[in-house]
Amino acid sequence: MSLAMNREVFVTCAVTGSGDTTGKSEKVPITPAEIAGAAIEAAKAGAAVVHCHVRDPMTGKPSRDPALFREVTDRIREAETDVVLNLTAGMGGDLTLGSVEKPLPPATAGTDMAGATERLAHIAECLPEICTLDCGTMNFGEGDYVMTNTPAMLRAMAEGMKRLGVRPEIEAFDTGHLWFAKQLASEGVIEGPTLVQLCMGVPWGAPDDLRTFLAMVDAVPPDWTWSAFSIGRHAIPFVAAAVLAGGNVRVGLEDNLYLSKGVFATNAQLVERAVSLIEGMGATVIGPAAVREKLALTKRAPR
């Protein structure tokens, strides 16, 4: 393994996610206006990319309503602050089994299974520069919930992204996800420049110890661009780990609610902390124009 520190780093901010975090911190954005505002503040703080989910404005629960995504997208694009827009395409693969004794039928609460076209409806509506492709199925947290992404579903979604001209960001939660992503790339289903996000420490994917992290890094092809994050208290240490291993970084309230023990953060504060750490290591934080050049992205104007 040959590792070299990355000297030109871009920061992604994952501003809200779909987890049950809105009741834990009032700083987690919920409405489209709040999500877009948090994304713009993160960009002003130094994030080149913002990764956005949407939530039901009344309940705070995760949503895949194209109208909510469209409002977030329009607000970000109409702002004076430039940023690369990355929307989730992970919703619609949520399966919660009935119980350990009677797994079928699936539980209504927590199950949201949709076809490939429906899962990409908001991507077709908003045409972000990047959208995520969760490259595998896994137990995700506790209980009977399974994040479900079959090979056939992933091929169909990746083909749909290619037709739309949207760059997939491969979300890899374990080494097998990278294995399948490389298969899709070899088939031409995913076209370069290829972008991958290494998702560390999410139960029950790849743990965020350094040996496992370096195994994940070693599995990334040398011509791919990669970024990494961990969750919770290891989120900020992983900024340094990713840069030292040659990658880019992700922070944000999707992954970590705290600036320090007991102190709730905003997205902008987490970006500021990451930027300070990166620059303190002697690297340069690059902006959205440099990311577009690196990943062959085309900036989209407001519609």
Per-residue pLDDT reduced to its tens digit, 57-81: 999 999 999 999 999 999 999 999 9
What integer pLDDT is reported at residue 1 of this predicted model? 52
* Residues of the chain above pLDDT 90, percent: 93
Helices of type H across 59-108? 66-78
Q: Is the pLDDT of residue 3 over 70?
A: yes
Q: Is the pLDDT of residue 2 over 80?
A: no
How far from 302 is each of 64, 68, 71, CA to CA, in Å?
A: 21, 15, 11
Taking phi over 0 as left and psi of -120 to 50 as alpha, with beta for the rest, 131 belongs to beta
Residue 217 belongs to a domain: yes
What integer pLDDT is reported at residue 167 of this predicted model? 97
Residue 232 belongs to a domain: yes
Backbone CA torsion sign across 154, 19, 145, 177: positive
Name the residue range of residue 240's domain.
Answer: 8-295
What integer pLDDT is reported at residue 295 of this predicted model? 97
Residue 2 belongs to a domain: no
* Residues of the chain above pLDDT 70, percent: 99
Per-residue pLDDT, averaged over 112-124, amounts to: 97
Per-residue pLDDT reduced to its tens digit, 190-228: 999 999 999 999 999 999 999 999 999 999 999 999 999
Residue 152 belongs to a domain: yes
> What CATH number did the domain enclosing 55 receive?
3.20.20.70
Give the tokens for residue 199: 């998702």
DSSP letters spanning 216-243: HHHTS-TTSEEEEEE-GGGHHHHHHHHH
Per-residue pLDDT, averaged over 271-281, amounts to: 98
What integer pLDDT is reported at residue 52 of this predicted model? 98
What integer pLDDT is reported at residue 85 of this predicted model? 98
| 3-class DSSP state of 278 | helix
Per-residue pLDDT, averaged over 265-277, amounts to: 98
Structurally, the chain folds into a number of domains equal to 1
Q: To the nearest whole number, what is the mean pLDDT of the chain?
A: 95
Residue 302 belongs to a domain: no
Residue 32 belongs to a domain: yes
| 3-class DSSP state of 265 | coil
In this structure, the dihedral spanned by the alpha carbons of residues 191, 195, 201 and 204, taken in order and rounded to 10 degrees, is: -10
- 59 touches 37 (CB < 8 A): no
Longest dimension (CA), the chain: 56
Residue 301 belongs to a domain: no
Per-residue pLDDT, averaged over 112-139, amounts to: 97
More confident residue, 114 or 142: 114
Residue 62 belongs to a domain: yes
The pLDDT confidence band at residue 251, using thresholds 50, 70 and 90, is very high
Per-residue pLDDT reduced to its tens digit, 22-61: 999 999 999 999 999 999 999 999 999 999 999 999 999 9
Per-residue pLDDT, averaged over 246-264, amounts to: 96
Per-residue pLDDT reduced to its tens digit, 156-189: 999 999 999 999 999 999 999 999 999 999 999 9
